[in-house]
Structure 1
Amino acid sequence: MPVSLHLNLPVRLNMVNADEIAKLCYDRFKQLPRRGKPEPGREWTLLAAVVKISRCANSDTVEKEVVSLGTGTKCIGQTAMSPNGDVLNDSHAEVIARRGCVRYLMAELHRAVSGEKSSVFCQADERGKWRLQPEVSFLFFTSHTPCGDASIIPMADNQSQPCPPVTSAKSPERTDGERDLKRKAEAPIEGNNTKVLRLEEEQETAETSKSEDPSQSHATKTPVETVSQDSAQLETKNGGLCDGAGLHPQVPDIHRTGAKCVPGGPVDPLHPGVGYHSTGMLRVKPGRGEPTLSLSCSDKLARLGVLGFQGALLSHYLQEALYFSTIVVGKCPYSQEVMERALVTRCSCVSDLPAGFSVHAPELLQSSLEFPFSQAQTELQHQAGQGRISPCGAAISWCNVPEQPLDVTANGYKHGVTKKALGTAKARSLLCKLELFHSFLSLVSATDPAALPDSLRRAELQTYWDYKQAAQSYQQAWQQLYSQAFPLWPRNDSDLLLFH
């Protein structure tokens, strides 16, 4: 039987203002220390945040507070993943912001179980369970459309239409003329507001080097499937020419994503123009010549719309999953229809979910305010002599917790750590699986044994894997999502989750 959509009516009736949310998040970023931020005019990054919305009692007004913020554009390759859970695998801004929010929720639950007042949670009906206070909800902000399916957007009529992609790397050896065309296609394009494949390949590059300096971790190669949007003339499929001035016929095109279709399913046809990508597919973030196991941010946000953003561990304590009431996107190439497809429609068929879970359709909004450190703004600010424009190698996490709210990382580890420190607590990001697991165990220890949720009253719970699997309702919901909507979703090897 189909499930009803989960709505947060009180906040929706107040109509969240997208520009207010964007400004709130950008201002929060400005207030952070300089460490880990992009170099103005040379480096760019993406920003995401979780905002708590509190409806004021006896009033139609709401209070808005950024509780978690993240920046970042990288993820590590499959071979760099650690069985100890001490490496941060995915450092895209959306993932950083969500994991920082989990830290925040754990801190609030710690206050609640300790008898202090929480601004987020109140006791639920079931023993040991908590729920959101009725006036509280959360929304998600991202400065750019999420990588993957949500970024496959038709070009606007008033935008310069790129020509068909340059010959794929799998094609025969190029002539000198073709190589010259490739160089033109890969040249930086001033004012380009498009997340084309060249840039997203850099953005999602697997960072497997051991360098402590994030400026040394940028990709040095650009993929040959690049689509250029400048006025350089490129060959079309039929041998004709096209240019940005409209002097020759041009092929309608779409914004590209560097995320690749997961193995075992449909692949991108790579046809010219709008036929380049397959849509609605699960995608894996690319690496620098190495596969990753990180699903695209579009896929991860779609999954959160069914499973909630609290994760498996916190599901032990929550009577209902937590869903974002609204998703706000900053100024960038955007399509409401594509966002609906990528984040909502793909999961709308899921049914027979356990109690506490639902198919959630967040309100989707776009702001007119652009992130000052976006790729497009960085190109506009770029000056001669600054070197090539690159995505920032560092990732910043800030969340509203009493201890160590700021966490700056690069290559999956604390920013600036030496090789000698790898494998020690000093090198670990506060967002890695091991650190979040230890925070959760601290929450369990702080809970009165008589007030423990039933799912945590099992002596055999030892490893991270044990605790995740013991969240039975969450795992049942995940199985329904997996079987009905995302059967090709790669499952984590349990050997990577057996740490204590």
Structure 2
Amino acid sequence: MCAYECVAVGTGLKCLGNSELSPDGDVLFDSHAEVVCRRHFLTYLYNEMNLCLDSSSSVLRQSTPGRFKLAPGVEFHLYVSQAPCGDASMTCLDRSQSDDTRKANEEKKRRFISRRDEEISDESPANKRPKTEMHGADDSVSLAGPPTQSPSAPATQSMDQSDSVADVSPECAEPLVVSSANMVASGVLRGRDSYNLLGVLRTKPGRIDADSTNSLSCSDKIAKWMVVGLGGALVASLMDPIYLSTITIGAFYNHADAYRAFIDRLEGIVDLPPLYRVQVPEIFHSKVPFPFSRVAVTKNENTRPISADASIGWSSPSDDSEVTVCGRKQGFSAKKAKNNERARPSISKLSLFKLHQEVLSRVNPSAASSTSSQTYRQAKQANSEYQLAKSRLYVGRFAGWLICDPMYEAFKVEGSANTE
């Protein structure tokens, strides 16, 4: 008999703009639900590694001394309350908009482009922004145990659908299709721009008038996990890759879109290193309404939903959830959070780096001593097989993957940024 256990939950729909980022690893750049939940899942894995070393984990086993793998029969499943931002939701978002909403969005776009062009014309050549570097990314899910037909898993609330108020799944049976000649093969589109271009990389946020970011959409990040696994470079240095067995989507579901976003786009990826593969998850549609979705809330005529600034996350076995606002623990402004450990989210890059170092010090003290002098980026780059798997992914439709600027990964495990 299959048994399910909720191990991580995330909510959220905000993403820090490029002007708000921190070089110290203490702030969440991307607080969309799927990303928050996946990062809490990493804290769950580190806890299970410690339990395994104490011979008390039912989830992990040691494949070799100091290296972990999943116990037989253990699988993980993702539930998202509505289609992830990016490629998996383009068709339904397009068709869900009323004519008035579409006109309002076009006006927003026109004003933003006009204002941006005026700012650019005022810049001297020396002050113009550099082009974004390509090929690379930051490590960017509700999860449960083995499924039968319909996986049961806890809820994540995905992306800002502030311009849409209807669950349009039934109307999305036939997606818009464009020829490969019209695709942006090696580039990246911003947010919801050019709905008719499918299968392409997109950045957050969806709104054209919001501060730009280099964070790829949740659709793109989930697709990445289908190749390199859920763990990221640091976790992958300690255990075999972990893949999602199923993905279940609530509102704004279209099977063709989901299949293209998470499976079809990965065709042709070959020559992966040992243990890595192109995972093909089963994809399901849940028709059970998520009670806190915009669709459900707007059914009450006296309720006007407002996009929340806060993000909430949790992982097993903690008794407490964690609330973050603008990438920091709730209650701390950017000024108060500076060099304040209490303001640092448990799922920030620095916090996860510390968890990795703690496990590594138990399984390989000499390696832990070496890592303590490395920057976060150097520690990730040291996992050569993971980096090779990423390089195999960043071809074809993923060739334009955006790199996280090295300055934001130059901090060390004790928290100091390397300015050399």
Q: Shared topology, TM-score over 0.5? A: yes
Q: May I ask how many residue pairs the two structures share in their alignment?
A: 348
Whether the aligned pair in 2 keeps the contact of 1:265 and 1:488 (CA below 8 Å) is: yes
In the aligned structure 2, how far is the partner of 1:151 from the partner of 1:314? 30
Whether the aligned pair in 2 keeps the contact of 1:316 and 1:456 (CA below 8 Å) is: no
Question: What is the 5 A alignment of 1:45-64?
Answer: 61-64=1-4
In the aligned structure 2, how far is the partner of 1:75 from the partner of 1:438? 24
Question: What is the 5 A alignment of 1:92-491?
Answer: 92-113=32-53, 115-124=54-63, 126-153=64-91, 162-163=98-99, 165-166=102-103, 167-169=106-108, 171=110, 203=160, 265=187, 276-286=195-205, 289-318=210-239, 320-330=240-250, 332-383=251-302, 388-402=304-318, 405-418=320-333, 421-423=336-338, 424-447=340-363, 449=365, 458=370, 462-491=374-403
In the aligned structure 2, how far is the partner of 1:367 from the partner of 1:107? 30
In the aligned structure 2, how far is the partner of 1:487 from the partner of 1:457? 35
In the aligned structure 2, how far is the partner of 1:87 from the partner of 1:346? 31
Equivalent position amino acid for 1:426 in 2: R
In the aligned structure 1, how far is the partner of 2:111 from the partner of 2:231? 48
Change (3 A) 1:317 1:253: closer
Task: Please identify the structure whose Cα radius of gyration is greater.
Answer: 1
Equivalent position amino acid for 1:312 in 2: A
In the aligned structure 2, how far is the partner of 1:324 from the partner of 1:265? 27
Change (3 A) 1:343 1:389: same
In the aligned structure 1, how far is the partner of 2:357 from the partner of 2:22? 20
Alignment counterpart, residue 86 of structure 1, candidates 6, 22, 26 = 26
Work out the percentage of aligned pairs sharing the same amino acid. Answer: 34
Report the 3-state secondary structure (helix = DSSP H, G, I; strand = E; otherwise coil) of the residue aligned with 2:358: helix
Whether the aligned pair in 2 keeps the contact of 1:163 and 1:228 (CA below 8 Å) is: no
CA RMSD of aligned residues (A): 3.3
In the aligned structure 1, how far is the partner of 2:372 from the partner of 2:322? 33
Per-residue deviation, residues 306-342 of structure 1 (Å, max 9, x unmatched)? 0100111011111x31000011112x12111110001
Equivalent position amino acid for 2:89 in 1: S
In the aligned structure 2, how far is the partner of 1:499 from the partner of 1:436? 13
Whether the aligned pair in 1 keeps the contact of 2:311 and 2:324 (CA below 8 Å) is: yes
In the aligned structure 1, how far is the partner of 2:358 from the partner of 2:383? 17
Change (3 A) 1:426 1:485: same
In the aligned structure 2, how far is the partner of 1:133 from the partner of 1:293? 36
Whether the aligned pair in 1 keeps the contact of 2:85 and 2:159 (CA below 8 Å) is: no
Shift of 1:492: 1.2
Equivalent position amino acid for 1:295 in 2: L
Whether the aligned pair in 2 keeps the contact of 1:138 and 1:326 (CA below 8 Å) is: yes
Q: Name the residue aligned to 1:495.
A: 407
Q: Name the residue aligned to 1:10.
A: none
Equivalent position amino acid for 1:102 in 2: L
Per-residue deviation, residues 243-289 of structure 1 (Å, max 9, x unmatched)? xxxxxxxxx997xxxxxx99973759x99xxx843101100012653
Report the 3-state secondary structure (helix = DSSP H, G, I; strand = E; otherwise coil) of the residue aligned with 1:96: helix
Shift of 1:418: 4.5
Change (3 A) 1:399 1:425: same
Shift of 1:443: 1.2
Shift of 1:462: 1.6
Equivalent position amino acid for 2:276 in 1: F
Name the TM-score, length of structure 2 as normaliser.
0.75
Shift of 1:171: 5.0
Change (3 A) 1:117 1:495: same
In the aligned structure 1, how far is the partner of 2:159 from the partner of 2:243? 31
Report the 3-state secondary structure (helix = DSSP H, G, I; strand = E; otherwise coil) of the residue aligned with 1:298: helix
Change (3 A) 1:201 1:92: closer
Q: Which segments of 5 or more consecutive residues in structure 2 lack a partner in the other structure?
A: 113-156, 167-173, 177-182, 413-420
Question: What is the 5 A alignment of 1:20-59?
Answer: none
In the aligned structure 1, how far is the partner of 2:81 from the partner of 2:281? 17
Change (3 A) 1:448 1:295: closer
Report the 3-state secondary structure (helix = DSSP H, G, I; strand = E; otherwise coil) of the residue aligned with 1:143: strand
Whether the aligned pair in 1 keeps the contact of 2:273 and 2:385 (CA below 8 Å) is: yes
